[in-house]
Amino acid sequence: MARQIRFNAFDMNCVAHQSSGLWRHPDDQSARYKDLRYWTELAQLLERGRFDGIFIADVLGTYDVYGGSNEAAIRHGAQVPVADPLLVIPAMAYVTEHLGFGVTAGTAYEHPYPFARRMSTLDHLTNGRVGWNVVTGYLPSAARNMGHTDQLEHDDRYDHADEYLEVLYKLWEGSWEDDAVVRDRESGVFTDPAKVHEIGHAGKHFTVPGIHLSEPSLQRSPVIYQAGASSRGIGFAADNAEAIFVAASTKAVLKSTVTKIRDALEAAGRDRYSARIYTLLTIITDETSEKAQAKYEDYLSYASEEGALVFMSGWMGIDLSQYGLDEPIGNVKSNAIQSVVANFQEAAEDGSQWTVRDIARHGAIGGLGPFIVGSGKEIADQLQEWAEDTDVDGFNLAYAITPGTFEDVVTHVIPELQKRGAYPTEYTEGTLRHKLHGRGDRLPDEHRGARYRVGASVAS
Ligand SMILES: Cc1cc2nc3c(=O)[nH]c(=O)nc-3n(C[C@H](O)[C@H](O)[C@H](O)COP(=O)(O)O)c2cc1C
């Protein structure tokens, strides 16, 4: 049987997401992000394409590293204005049956207590189809608007996130027993108080003595997604993640990242394949190679190099406006997304360096990930090759224009992959967790979160 390839769609509640300037394209509908029907139509399209899920990114600040201000970000619509990612999910869940929802929320600024309830609510309303992309943040502007002078140092952000998750696992896994809600009309008991437990958490950052406010949802803990690939980020993923998003500019970099992640999972006592890994990619496709190439040229004519550098500066934590366009990026140290910087440095395998211009061109369509252009058959060949050579499970597809890029993939690429037996034709029944891993609705016993279940022996 051919190796199975999976897709996730990458979007954000804003215009153009990662393809700066493309909002100007006449076929781009990203400016409809405020229209609920944009989201419901997209969800139905993705479900027709048997996508595992839609992954909605989020930031709580503006990209103000480039030029030392957010003026360029505001001018280009570079992820500002940006709306809340969670609120569009119930509508999408209402019009679909199987599509998963990976929603991004940061650990740095919101107290875990209300967040735990919001995620449980989403898990109830989606019938167990919600996932949470745990991010530690990278924009100093977000920290300032939350009353801090700057964000914590890179690794400290992950230490803080470790405790954040501990509180959440205690609430989701350890507070309510499965049969706590009895709804006994005779006795008038809705919930048996003996089966609802206070979590008694007192830690370095949080004190949460009480019970979770929500009754257990189908999955209890949402499926945990993660997208940081520094060594500290991989350690965090190995403890928590069930799906991992990576961004690698070349096949060699991807292969090494996938191997590092799978080794780390094993070192954490989990199966090498217990987290599904999706790599960022943009696909530009049409009926023929020539038409796809023409489409690419057309898209490129709308791309904004400055907008791309606004994003890259934010992700790298380096003001790229201070370099000449042909200057190479040397051995800089980042307090933002360390894996992004390492990626460019590692990708220069032949000893040549990525210049600022290379970075702008690379990022103009689809952001951090590479893009590939071709007919459905050519794309299918490349995807199979990438998956075989790197051991990645699937692709997190960014768009050049939306929903056009996703429509093209559904029309030209998915039928070809299905013909080759390399892509699902039907969904597995059940929750998102069960669809992804086929091991039931709840966290597996060897997962960190399972330690906090009622009656579990180690809760530390
Ligand atoms: C594909 C991808 C998507 C990401 N999406 C977001 C996001 O939506 N919001 C966010 O704050 N961080 C996002 N990040 C950043 C990370 O989740 C993480 O906080 C950051 O990568 C720092 O990790 P690292 O230095 O360990 O790589 C993303 C990273 C990658 C690679």
Q: Is the CB of 244 under 6 A from ligand 1?
A: no
Cα 419 to middle of ligand 1, angstroms: 34
Considering the domain boundaries, does residue 446 fall inside one? Answer: no
Q: How many Å lie between the centroid of ligand 1 and the Cα of residue 91?
A: 26
Query: Does 229 contact ligand 1 (Cβ within 6 A)?
Result: yes
Question: What one-character-per-residue DSSP string does 258-307 give?
Answer: HHHHHHHHHHTTS-TTSSEEEEEEEEEEESSHHHHHHHHHHHHTT--HHH
**Burial category of 45 from C-beta neighbours within 10 Å (exposed 0-12, middle 13-18, buried 19 and up):** middle
Pocket test for ligand 1, best of 56, 58, 59, 104 (most atoms within 8 A of CB): 104
d(CA 135, CA 282): 22
DSSP 180-214: -EEEETTTTEEE-GGGB----EE-SS-EE-S--SS
Q: Which residue has the tokens 């393809």?
A: 19
Q: What pLDDT score does 412 carry?
A: 98
Q: How far apart are CA 16 and CA 400, in angstroms?
A: 8
Q: Do the domain assignments include residue 451?
A: no
At 88 the pLDDT is: 98
Q: Is the CB of 11 under 6 A from ligand 1?
A: no
Instruction: Write down the pLDDT at residue 341.
Output: 72
On whether residue 305 sits in a domain, the answer given is yes
Residue 453 placed within a domain: no
Per-residue pLDDT, 460: 44
- Say what the pLDDT of residue 72 is: 96
Enclosing domain of residue 104:
6-181+191-440
Rounded Cα–Cα distance for residues 47 and 43 (Å): 6
pTM of the full predicted structure?
0.95
Q: What pLDDT was estimated at residue 433?
A: 98
Q: What is the pLDDT of residue 140?
A: 84
Residue from 79, 138, 160 to probe ligand 1 pocket by mutation (most atoms less than 8 Å from CB): 138
Indicate whether 449 belongs to any domain.
Answer: no
Within-domain flag for 404: yes
**Nearest residue CA, atom 9 of ligand 1?**
58
Query: One digit per residue, pLDDT tens: the chain, 460 residues?
Result: 899 999 999 999 999 999 999 999 999 999 999 999 999 999 999 999 999 999 999 999 999 999 999 999 999 999 999 999 999 999 999 999 999 999 999 999 999 999 999 999 999 999 999 999 999 988 888 888 888 888 888 899 999 999 999 999 999 999 999 999 999 999 999 999 999 999 999 999 999 999 999 999 999 999 999 997 789 999 999 999 999 999 988 899 999 999 999 999 999 999 999 999 999 999 999 999 999 999 999 999 999 999 999 999 999 888 999 988 888 877 666 777 777 777 777 766 566 678 888 889 888 998 888 999 999 999 999 999 999 999 999 999 999 999 999 999 999 999 999 999 999 999 999 999 999 999 999 999 999 999 999 878 654 4
Q: Report how far residue 129's alpha carbon sits from residue 115's, in angstroms, rounded to the nearest whole number.
A: 17
Q: What's the CATH code of the domain at 380? A: 3.20.20.30
pLDDT at residue 96 in the model = 98
CA of 366 to the centre of ligand 1 (A): 15
Q: Does the residue 383 lie in any domain?
A: yes
Answer yes or no: is the C-beta of 247 below 6 A from any ligand 1 atom.
Answer: yes
308 falls within a domain: yes
Q: Is the peptide bond preceding residue 328 cis, with omega within 30 degrees of 0?
A: no
| Domains contained in the chain, number | 1
Q: Tokens for 49, please give them.
A: 């394409």
Residue 430 gets the label, from left (phi > 0), alpha (psi -120 to 50) or beta, of left
Looking from the CA of residue 229, the nearest atom of ligand 1 is 27
Asked if residue 137 has its Cβ within 6 Å of ligand 1, the reply is yes
CA of 217 to the centre of ligand 1 (A): 27
